[in-house]
């Protein structure tokens, strides 16, 4: 048996084991399942040049009875983000200048969490569209967990955008398994920084955002750091309660996913190589061999498995369509983007340039610091 065939078989077995964990997925979050929130919830939204999207996030939160306050941290926006958020009724915190050694989002969250009044804090990105009941369900999970993350349904602007998005999303599933089941170790844990919930007192005590101040993949860095310290971390499907419209075009999907898709700054070089191998061998290679008219039995089995995954991925999209159906045909493109992200990582984000430390392979989050950033 040729070495490439052996390697593909090993990669296929690893993927099959990861996908099988989906049988243990908890039920998706549903509105009203846990009743009203027992404690006031403070929602913190970091925002930099989000005038066109901030209303869709803030307005439903202000109407949610579980939400005691909505804090928008204006991260030195160059548009009317702060003015619009204030007119809507949110509390606007003017972000202080970014200190050396910090990535912008973490600095904004660091300030916003400290400004929060409620004992429970929910973090949302400005491009999220929360629905009534989301914050109450997240707060209820904090009786059993210390950090809760939620996966949304995605809004895509057209079939090509959806196809590329779904293909990139599949690389995460093949590397880490589906949303819900507990990670095999802290080093393989995923969370979604678009939506996080925790108790303020504990996060302030451990100075969580200072730990991950240098990371561009800040959400996963935070989750893994806290999990290593014994925090109970949950990642739940909240598609019925949360939507995200984060991309403006196909080019935007390519650019934004490229920033973090490889998880370069929180993954060792050896593990990255293994993850790339799995994706190329189980998704890209079967498509290439099919295009060449030379698929083997294992290639056909992997292609069948990939198309079966579409059934599960349907629930990840507000309007699943033809783009989702044809997304496996873009798996070679997704593998190229993943490899590019690992080898030539993005260091510029939202008009700011960060140094090598923000993308250094395998960098582990540090401990709390005492500095001007406090």
CATH number of 306's domain: 3.90.550.10
* pLDDT at residue 37, as a whole number: 77
For 31, how many CA atoms within 13 A lie in the half-sphere containing its CB? 11
Q: What's the chain's average pLDDT?
A: 94
What is the pLDDT at residue 372?
36
Closest CA to 234 of 198, 187, 194, 275: 198
How much of the chain, in percent, has pLDDT values that exceed 70? 97
Residue 154, strand partner residues = 244, 317
Q: Does residue 73 surpass a pLDDT of 50?
A: yes
pLDDT value of position 351: 84
Q: What is the pLDDT of residue 373?
A: 36
Contact indicator for 264, 342 with CB cutoff of 8 Å: yes
169: containing domain:
3-20+39-359
Sequence-separated (6 or more) residues with CB below 8 Å from residue 373: 99, 101, 102, 107, 110, 210, 213
Place of tokens 């293994």: 274
In the chain, the percentage of residues whose pLDDT exceeds 90 is: 85
Of 335, 346, 363, residue with least CA distance to 258? 346
144 located within any domain? yes
Q: Which residue has the tokens 């498509």?
A: 287
Which whole number is the average pLDDT over 176-184? 88
pTM of the predicted model as reported, rounded to 2 decimal places: 0.93
Examine residue 32 and state whether it is found in any structural domain, yes or no.
no
Query: Is residue 364 situated within a structural domain?
Result: no
Q: Is residue 367 part of a domain?
A: no
Q: What is the mean predicted confidence (pLDDT) over 161-179?
A: 97
pLDDT of 219: 96
Mean pLDDT of 40-51: 97
Partners of 233 in the β-ladder: 147
The count of domains in the chain is 1
Is 275 within the bounds of a domain? yes
Render pLDDT for 235-258 as a digit per residue (tens, 0 to 9). Answer: 999 999 999 998 989 999 999 999
- Residue 73's φ and ψ, nearest 5 degrees, are -90, 110
Report residue 34's pLDDT band, with 50, 70 and 90 as the boundaries: confident
Using the predicted structure, report yes or no on whether residue 62 has a pLDDT greater than 60.
yes
Question: For residues 23 and 360, what is the distance between their CA atoms, to the nearest angstrom?
Answer: 35
Q: What is the pLDDT of residue 355?
A: 81
Query: Does residue 366 fall inside a structural domain?
Result: no
SS3 at position 50: coil
DSSP per-residue string spanning 200-268: HHHHHHHTHHHHTTT-SSHHHHHHHHHHHTT--EEEEE-TTTEEE---SSHHHHHHHHHHHTT-GGGS-
Element (H or E) spanning 12, and its range? helix 3-20
Strands 67-74 and 91-94: parallel
Residue 27 lies in a domain: no
Give the whole-angstrom CA distance, residue 104 versus residue 107: 5
User: What pLDDT is attached to residue 91?
Assistant: 98
Give mean pLDDT, residues 148-163: 97
Contact by Cβ (8 Å): 177, 19: yes
* Domain assignment of residue 266, yes or no: yes
Return d(Cα 319, Cα 145) in angstroms, integer.
Answer: 31
Asked if pLDDT for residue 365 goes beyond 90, the answer is no
pLDDT of residue 363: 60
Q: Please, are residues 57 and 128 in contact by the beta-carbon 8 Å criterion?
A: yes
Q: Are 70 and 91 in contact (CB under 8 A)?
A: yes
Task: Summarize pLDDT for 314-350 with one digit per residue, the tens.
Answer: 999 999 999 999 999 999 999 999 999 999 998 888 8
The answer on pLDDT for 362 being more than 80 is no
Would the pLDDT of 276 be above 90?
A: yes
């Amino acid at each position: 048996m040729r070495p490439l065939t052996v390697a593909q078989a090993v990669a296929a077995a690893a993927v099959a084991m990861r996908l099988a964990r989906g049988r243990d997925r908890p039920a998706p979050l549903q509105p009203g399942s846990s009743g009203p929130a027992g404690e006031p919830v403070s929602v913190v939204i970091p925002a930099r040049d989000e005038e066109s999207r901030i209303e869709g996030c803030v307005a439903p939160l202000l109407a949610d009875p579980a939400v005691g306050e909505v804090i928008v941290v204006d991260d030195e926006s160059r548009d009317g983000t702060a003015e619009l958020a204030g007119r809507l009724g949110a509390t606007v915190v003017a972000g202080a200048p970014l200190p050396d050694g910090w990535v912008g989002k973490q600095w904004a969250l660091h300030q916003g969490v400290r400004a929060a009044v409620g004992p429970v804090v929910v973090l949302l990105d400005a491009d999220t569209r929360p629905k009534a009941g989301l914050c109450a369900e997240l707060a209820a999970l904090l009786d059993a967990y210390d950090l809760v993350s939620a996966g949304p349904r995605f809004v895509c602007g057209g079939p090509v955008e959806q196809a590329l998005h779904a293909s990139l999303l599949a690389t995460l599933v093949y590397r880490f398994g589906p949303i819900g089941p507990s990670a095999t170790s802290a080093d393989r844990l995923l969370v979604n920084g678009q939506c996080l919930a925790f108790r303020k007192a504990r996060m302030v005590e451990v100075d969580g955002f200072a730990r991950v101040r240098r990371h561009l993949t800040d959400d996963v860095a935070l989750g893994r750091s806290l999990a290593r310290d014994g925090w109970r971390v949950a990642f739940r499907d909240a598609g019925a309660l949360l939507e995200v419209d984060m991309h403006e075009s196909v080019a935007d999907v390519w650019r934004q996913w490229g920033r973090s898709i490889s998880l370069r700054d929180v993954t060792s070089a050896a593990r990255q190589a293994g993850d790339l191998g799995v994706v190329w061998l189980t998704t890209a290679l079967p498509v290439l061999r099919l295009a060449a008219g030379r698929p083997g039995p294992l290639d056909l089995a992997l292609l069948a498995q990939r198309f079966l995954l579409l059934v599960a991925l349907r629930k990840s999209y507000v309007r699943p369509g033809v783009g989702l159906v044809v997304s496996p045909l873009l798996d070679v493109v997704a593998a190229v983007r993943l490899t590019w992200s690992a080898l030539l990582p993005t260091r510029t984000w939202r008009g700011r340039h960060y140094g090598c430390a923000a993308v250094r392979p395998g960098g582990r989050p540090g401990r709390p610091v005492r500095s001007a950033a406090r």
